[in-house]
């Protein structure tokens, strides 16, 4: 009744139905962890990938929500960034100008102050930011190609375009680098399912979920854009997290 039980950060009501693969999130509490024998998630210090007077880019770990939402009121990336700036004595506001799904890791761009947030937000709306991901998908894909299809977006059906190239492949799986030409919600996840190559660990969209894979294998590996304040070209990368790299090394023989 309080809306604190969620699916994909949206409140679930008593009338809602669940499907196989849905991830349901309960509000964190010591009593619940004791009952379920589930440890509270622990995150290390914030990893700053880039910082200037107007821009801050943080390497988000998987499992940490970007925004405050039901079940993530206190433990979210924005709250941690605000706490860091307060500790420094900075008095300006800060806000993320885009988002990553809860299970997706990688760089998140924050604006320092309202003017910076506005300028960076407009840059994203004009599709002036190149976004690259790495995903492990089921089966052997082509070496490179373009995914072009229609996906649901904000109550409408819109075209989504994603370019990809295979970094490693075998008959079981392919490690892809993907470049998003459009920014639809769950774009990469939906399109890869449509192509017959769902992402490993993606329960919602029917990806293979081996027990030795700790989470969904989707990582935002690079943001590339022109700094609207300095005019400099910025290429901000994030290395594949250790848990995903270990799984890849086992799958492709330390390639």
Q: Give the model's pLDDT for residue 118.
A: 96
Closest CA to 188 of 245, 138, 128, 147: 147
3-state secondary structure (DSSP) of residue 92: coil
> What region does 127 belong to: left with phi over 0, alpha with psi -120 to 50, or beta?
left
> How far apart, in whole angstroms, are the C-alpha atoms of residue 155 and residue 77?
27
Q: 101 catalytic, yes or no?
A: yes
Q: What is the pTM of this model?
A: 0.82
- Both tokens of 8, joined, read 């994909």
Judge contact between 69 and 4, C-beta under 8 A: no
> How far apart, in whole angstroms, are the C-alpha atoms of residue 141 and residue 137?
8
Q: Give the model's pLDDT for residue 120.
A: 97
Tokens 């307060």 correspond to 86
Q: Give the model's pLDDT for residue 29.
A: 65
Judge contact between 47 and 59, C-beta under 8 A: yes
Mean pLDDT by 10 residues, the chain (255 residues): 76 82 74 62 87 97 85 82 92 93 95 96 94 97 96 87 96 96 90 96 92 93 97 97 94 77
- Both tokens of 141, joined, read 């894909």
Q: Give the model's pLDDT for residue 248.
A: 93
Q: Give the model's pLDDT for residue 14.
A: 78
Catalytic option among 37, 90, 101, 227 = 101
Judge contact between 227 and 239, C-beta under 8 A: no
Q: Give the model's pLDDT for residue 107.
A: 98
Count CB-CB contacts under 10 A for residue 51.
12
Tokens 């079981």 correspond to 172
Q: Give the model's pLDDT for residue 16.
A: 84
> How far apart, in whole angstroms, are the C-alpha atoms of residue 110 and residue 57?
6
Within 13 Å, how many C-alpha atoms sit on residue 81's CB side? 27
- Both tokens of 191, joined, read 């399109």
> How far apart, in whole angstroms, are the C-alpha atoms of residue 89 and residue 4?
33
């Amino acid at each position: 009744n309080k809306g604190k039980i969620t699916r994909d950060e949206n409140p679930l009501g008593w009338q809602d139905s669940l499907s196989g693969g849905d991830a349901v999130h309960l509000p964190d509490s010591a009593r619940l962890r004791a009952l379920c024998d589930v440890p509270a998630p622990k995150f290390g210090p914030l990893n700053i990938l880039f910082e200037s007077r107007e821009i801050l880019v943080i390497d988000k770990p998987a499992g940490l929500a970007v925004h405050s939402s039901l079940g993530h009121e206190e433990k979210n990336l924005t709250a941690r960034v605000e706490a860091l700036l307060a500790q420094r004595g900075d008095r300006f506001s800060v806000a993320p100008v885009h988002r990553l799904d809860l299970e997706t890791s990688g760089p998140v761009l924050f604006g320092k102050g309202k003017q910076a947030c506005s300028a960076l937000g407009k840059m994203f709306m004009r599709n002036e930011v190149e976004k690259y991901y790495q995903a492990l998908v089921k089966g052997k894909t082509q070496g490179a190609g373009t995914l072009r299809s229609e996906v649901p977006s904000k109550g409408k059906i819109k075209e989504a375009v994603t370019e990809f190239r295979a970094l490693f492949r075998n008959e079981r799986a392919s490690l892809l680098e993907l470049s998003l030409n459009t920014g639809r919600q769950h774009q990469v996840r939906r399109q890869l399912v449509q192509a017959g190559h769902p992402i490993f660990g993606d329960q919602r969209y029917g990806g293979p979920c081996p027990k030795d894979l700790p989470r969904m294998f989707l990582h935002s590996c690079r943001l590339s854009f022109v700094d609207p304040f300095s005019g400099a070209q910025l290429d901000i990368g994030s290395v594949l997290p250790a848990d995903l790299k270990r799984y890849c090394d086992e799958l492709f023989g330390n390639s």
